[in-house]
Amino acid sequence: MNTAPNPSLHKYAVFTAICTFLLLIAGALVTSNDAGLSVPTWPLAWGTVTPPMVGGIVYEWSHRVIAATIGFLTIILAVWLWMAEKRPWMRWMGFAALSGVIAQGILGGMTVRMFQPPPVSAAHATLAQLFFSTVVAIAFFTGSWWQSDIAEVEDEGNPPVRSLTVWTVAAVFLQLILGAAFRHKGFGIFPHLIGAVIVTILVFKTAAALKRRFADTPPLRKCANVLHILIGVQLLLGAGAWWSRIYSARFPQPIPVMVVFTVVHTVTGALLLATTLLTALVTHRMIRPGTAVAEPSASPQQVAQ
Domain residue limits, the chain: 1-147, 154-290
What are the pLDDT digits (tens) for 184-215? 888 889 999 999 999 999 999 999 999 999 98
Q: According to the model, what pLDDT value does residue 124 have?
A: 95
The pTM for the full model equals 0.90
122 neighbors 27 (Cβ within 8 angstroms): no
Rg value, the chain, Cα: 23
Q: According to the model, what pLDDT value does residue 303 have?
A: 35
H, E, C per residue of the chain: CCCCCCHHHHHHHHHHHHHHHHHHHHHHHHHHCCCCCCCCCCCCECCECCCCCCCCHHHHHHHHHHHHHHHHHHHHHHHHHHHHCCCHHHHHHHHHHHHHHHHHHHHHHHHHHCCCCHHHHHHHHHHHHHHHHHHHHHHHHCCCCCCCCCCCEEECCCCCHHHHHHHHHHHHHHHHHHHHHHHCCCCCCHHHHHHHHHHHHHHHHHHHHHHHHCCCCHHHHHHHHHHHHHHHHHHHHHHHHHHHHHHHCCCCCCCHHHHHHHHHHHHHHHHHHHHHHHHHHHHHHHEEECCCCCCCCCCHHHHHC
Q: According to the model, what pLDDT value does residue 135 have?
A: 98
Q: According to the model, what pLDDT value does residue 243 have?
A: 95
What are the pLDDT digits (tens) for 65-93? 999 999 999 999 999 999 999 999 999 99
> Which CATH architecture best describes the domain 154-290?
Up-down Bundle (1.20)
**Ranges in the chain, pLDDT < 50:** 291-305
CA distance 239 to 224: 23
CA distance 216 to 96: 36
Distance of CA 29 to the CA centre of its chain: 18
Would you call 211 exposed, middle or buried from its count of C-beta atoms within 10 A (0-12, 13-18, 19+)?
middle
